[in-house]
Structure formats: C-alpha cells, structure tokens
Amino acid sequence: MKLSSGYPLSLIKNGLLFSYPKLAKNIKTDVLVLGGGISGALTAHYLVQEGVDCVLIDARTIGLGSTCASTSLLQYEIDVSLHELIKMVGTKAAVRSYKLGVSAILKLEALARKIGVHDFERKQSLYSAAYKKDVSFLREEYAARKKHGFDVRYLDEASVYKQFGFASHGAILSDVAAAIDTYLLTHSLLQFNLNKGLKVYDRTPAISIEHNQRNVQIETPDKFVIRAKKLVYATGYEVVDFISKPIVKLASTYAIASESFNATQKFGKKDAVIWNTAKPYLYMRTTNDNRIIIGGRDEEFFSHLRRDRLIPQKTRQLKTDFEKMFPAIPFKTEFSWAGTFGSTKDGLPYIGAYKKFPNSLFALGFGGNGITFSQVAGEIIASIIKGKKNRDVELFSFERK
C-alpha cells in the first residue's frame, strides 16, 4: 500500500537523514520488529532498553510510510470523546486510556531530551465547537474530563475570541499537548539504539511469514531468512489484511503547510493545537520554523490513486477553512500532501497477542493518537516479552468487545 504522497513538510525539511543496509544474509534474533516507522522505532527502543536482542526491518526506506506524512501532533484526546468512550468501554477503561495519553506525552518529552531531539514543543490543546449545536456535546465532555481529574477549562464564545482570535461558540482548553517532528524522532530513536545493539535493515520486505510453535520465520525477496523467537507487527494500516475480523476503517487524510512567516506564529499566548468537533475534524498547529500546518478533509479510502487526485482540491479547501477562521493571517500554501489514516470503533489501538499468530505481538497505534499510542504500545510489548505484568494489556486486546 502506498501510504503517503505529495510533499510532506517533514521529509522536505529533513531529507533522507540516515542510510541503513539491506538484509544480505540469514540471521537469527530474539525479537524481530516488522515496520520502521514511529511505532516500530518506539517498540524497538523499549525492547533494547530491556536488554532484548532485537532486529528491525522495513520494506521501504526508513520513515517513508505514514511516518513522514504525520503532522506530528501529540494529544491525549482520542478520536472518541471521553464521555462517549465511558459508555462504550466503561469508566475505568476509558479514563485509564485517556490518562495513558497524558503520560505518553510526558514520557515522549523526556525521551526526546534523552536522545537529543530538540524540537519537542509543549503546547495547549483547544477543542472548539464547529457549530452551535456542538456546545452541549462540549459541555458534557468538559464535565466528564473535569470529574475524572483532567486539567481543563471551558471557554465561552467571548473567551475563545479574546484568547485565540477566532469565532467559536465554545471550547475546551487543556494544557497537555505537544508537537514533535515524528520523522526526525523515528530516525533519532533508531540511531540511538543502533549504538546499543539494535540492528536495522530497510528495503527488506517480508514476502512470507511462517508462524511456528517455537519461532517465526520470515523470508525476503532475495531468499534470505530471519528466524525470530518473537515477531512484533508494527506495520500500521498494512497489517489489516492479516487480521480476520475488521478492526480499522481506512480514510484518506490531507494536510498543507504554509510558507515560513517572518515572525513567530502562535495560536494564543502559550500556543495551542486547535481542532474542532466537525466530522471529519479540522486541526492546525504552528511549527518551530514559523509555519502553520492545517489538516483534515478526510475521505473514505478506496485507493491511493483516488486519494492523490484529490490533493489539489483538498489543498484549496483547507486553505479556505483557515482563512475563514483567521482572515487577517496571510496564509500561502507551500507544501501539500496526503496520507492513509485509520480509526477503530472505540478510538483505541490494538496492542498485544492475536491468537491465530503464535509467537507474535501487535503494536497498532491507530487513530489520531498514533504517536502517543505507539509509545504506550512499546512499553506494553516490552513488558510482555520480558514476562512482566502490565495492567494495561486488556485495555487494547483483540478480544475486547
């Protein structure tokens, strides 16, 4: 599957950061991570930190799947609101899922500092009403978050305009959000762990995977074989064909980035990620090189050809969306791109074992929280492989209703 197209800002800005070899021999390892995007990189990181012998492979050049197309927002809010998620999975599971998002952002901040990635930016998150009818929904969501200990404030129409300069009937403001260059973070994680024993091979597709009771064997197009005691699927949306039941609905998503402004751009005094209650929702953030990124206008995914044909139209629509909100800001589009996005029925990822595939685990951080859920998945997978108890395994199980 072609996961991205167009000119993603992160790829243009950073280029091909590092080169990795193509597998050219038979190898054995304790754990093989299949997928070299942010999910695979984080999973490999936590495995290496636990002292696990680990190899990572990717069919593409590292980072050129969904990762380079990411708009790199870090939010604890998931695609299903807290008060709706409580009705779906119960209060304990819903609140824990949201709080894992909060802790993931804090852990990613510490991790970025540890490995020398300096572009992590803490931001606020403003969840605004797209329409007047959404105010009651927002107030119910605000009440649920406040009740369960989340640090949020409700802003009325006048407060939104005063603090953020655009018209909305109301909004929830949270102090916990961030942005980071996901493509850069992925490469930085791999480079950090190469020095600690991780082996990375790209341009190395797995054309056959044989699951046995004792191990897993993977064959490449060049007839080389990898034997692993455990296999971790971290291939995101491309793994759905392996799962017998439907677990994710795919969509095409679009993003644009402005030219760099002469002065620093901020949404509000502390700078916020802005997103709204529309379906699909519109979102925007600033960058550390004085640009504005806007995303949304999702469509049901049919093929990458149809997705890519819509880029010019979606580019115009996203620019218009921004101009309606901020007519005084002279937004000039410089880059536009498209990617493949997926959502689950409850907005939660799938992490852990799948019965039909022995000796395998899955790290599938679907949804708008792919990065934060990838952090959560990395810790859970590492604990499972080390035989440690993890209280969150059942939250994201394939067996959940």
CA distances from 373 to 35, 75, 189, 240 (A): 15, 10, 16, 17
Q: Is 350 helix (H, G, I), strand (E, B) or coil?
A: strand
State which H helix or E strand residue 125 sits in. Answer: strand 121-128
Q: What is the pLDDT of residue 3?
A: 57
Peptide bond into 280 cis (omega under 30): yes
Q: Three-state SS for 30?
A: strand
201: exposed, middle or buried (Cβ count in 10 Å: 0-12, 13-18, 19+): buried
Both tokens of 24, joined, read 């050219």
Domain 4-69+183-246+347-396 fold: FAD/NAD(P)-binding domain (3.50.50)
- pLDDT value at position 174? 97
More confident residue, 244 or 357: 357
User: Each residue of 75-126: pLDDT tens digit?
Assistant: 999 989 999 999 999 999 999 999 999 999 999 999 999 999 999 999 999 9
Percent of residues, the chain, with pLDDT higher than 90: 82
- 310 within 8 A of 299, measured Cβ to Cβ: yes
The span from the CA of 219 to the CA of 206, in Å, is 6
Please give the structure tokens belonging to residue 394: 């059942």
Q: Please give the Cα distance from 321 to 54 (Å, whole number).
A: 45
Greatest mean pLDDT among 221-230, 306-315, 361-370: 221-230
**Are 167 and 327 in contact, with CB atoms under 8 Å apart?**
no
- CB-CB contact of 376 with 107 (8 Å): no
pTM above 0.75, yes or no: yes
Cβ neighbours for 275, distance < 8 A, ≥ 6 positions apart: 75, 125, 126, 127, 128, 281, 282, 283, 284
Mean local confidence (pLDDT), 237-249:
72
Q: What is the pLDDT of residues 48-77, one digit of tens each?
A: 999 999 999 999 999 988 898 889 999 999
Q: Is the pLDDT of residue 38 over 90?
A: yes
